Amino acid sequence: MHSFLMTLDCPDGVGLLARITDFVASQGGSFTEVNQFTDKISNWFLARFAFEMERETSLAEIRNAFVPVARELNASWSFREATKPVRTVLLVSKEDHCLADLLWRWRSGELNIEIPLVISNHTDLRSVLEKEGIPFMHIPIPQEESAKENAFRQVSDAVCEVSGELTVLCRYMQILPDWYCAEHHNRIINIHHSLLPAFAGADPYKRAYDRGVKLIGATCHYATGELDAGPIIHQEVLDVEHFHTPVDLRRIGRDCERLALARGVRLHVEDRVVVHQSRAIVFGN
């Protein structure tokens, strides 16, 4: 059996699902999972399909066969082999809790990814990656604007050189330039230390403590040119008690960050996220 994943979004219309079902049947495929959603406000259809083929079929063959259907539906779409790992580049700074969690999930086979490279603007985590046998690249990010631009061009080139399909910011404490986000559109996942947009910026847990918050959360989202404004993939939240100190809040926050990022990455690599305008439609499992 050959397993494929398909995502699709297009203007809503009569018989859309039947048209796609007919296509898969014509190729000798059978569905193993079907997810669909129609946004009634924008009159837009979004879907994810998993299907199997008994006959020997290449990804290129399936894609080429679907082109006339996609034109007919005016659809944006993608096909991917379900079992093929997604080549994922990790960007880190000094904090290691999100990195350590993703590495554990990668080693255990929980995440269907391969990690060809980790890039950092510091060298603090080099030894962690060397122990894992994962290539590590140190690219400092200078303060001077023209030098900073060149550094981010090095980062982008490095991702492309290893054929990175996804970039994950594991508490990477740098703001990506607009052009970088545009070149890797909806292929950069970030973890934010709160339920956006509250308490953005420096030392959020101290300010949360000062405000007496009752919940702490984390937001996993796609990075865009507008800071912390990309489509939200997943959010986690935990209760906070009056006796929790700022240290406790940081601990609870790190737990939220780890889980939100891991779940967001898993949803992406399983093609369970379809972005429409500023929203990420997530087909859970």
Q: What is the pLDDT of residue 129?
A: 95
> Which residue in the list 12, 39, 96, 228 is annotated as catalytic?
228
pLDDT value of position 201 = 64
pLDDT value of residue 12? 96
* Residue that finishes a domain, picked among 30, 64, 81: 81
CA distance linking residue 272 with residue 86, whole number of Å: 13
Domain end point (choices 59, 81, 103)? 81
Q: What is the pLDDT of residue 145?
A: 83
State whether 24 and 54 are in the same domain.
yes
| pLDDT per residue as tens digits for the range 256-274 | 999 999 999 999 999 999 9
Distance separating the N- and C-terminal Cα atoms of the chain: 21
Tokens of 156: 């982008």
- For the stretch 136-172, pLDDT in tens is 999 999 988 889 999 999 999 999 999 999 999 999 9
| 228: annotated active-site residue | yes
Q: What's the total number of domains in the chain?
A: 2
The confidence score (pLDDT) of residue 64 equals 96
CATH number at residue 259: 3.40.50.170
Same domain, 175 and 211: yes
Q: Which structural domain, as residue segments, surrounds residue 31?
A: 2-81
Q: Nearest CA to 233 among 187, 198, 180, 199?
A: 187
**Are 276 and 189 within one domain?**
yes
Q: How far apart are CA 118 and CA 208, in angstroms?
A: 31
Q: Quick one: 152 and 118 in the same domain? A: yes
Measured between alpha carbons, how far is 187 from 269 in angstroms, rounded to an integer?
Answer: 10
The residues, any chain, with a CB within 8 Å of residue 138's CB and separated by 6 or more, are 119, 120, 121, 122, 123, 126
57 and 179 together in one domain = no
Residue 65: give its domain's CATH number: 3.30.70.260
Write down the pLDDT at residue 196. 56
For residue 88, what is the enclosing H or E element? strand 86-92
If asked whether residues 228 and 108 sit together in one domain, one would say yes
* Strand-strand pairing, 188-192 and 2-11: unpaired
**What are the mean pLDDT values of the chain's consecutive 10-residue runs (285 residues total)?**
94 94 94 95 95 90 96 96 97 96 96 98 95 96 89 97 97 93 96 70 71 79 87 90 88 93 97 93 90
Q: Both 77 and 111 in a single domain?
A: no
pLDDT at 30: 95
From 33, 55, 81, the end of a domain falls on 81
Same domain, 138 and 206: yes
* 184 and 276 assigned to the same domain: yes
Query: Look-up: residue for tokens 């949360």?
Result: 208
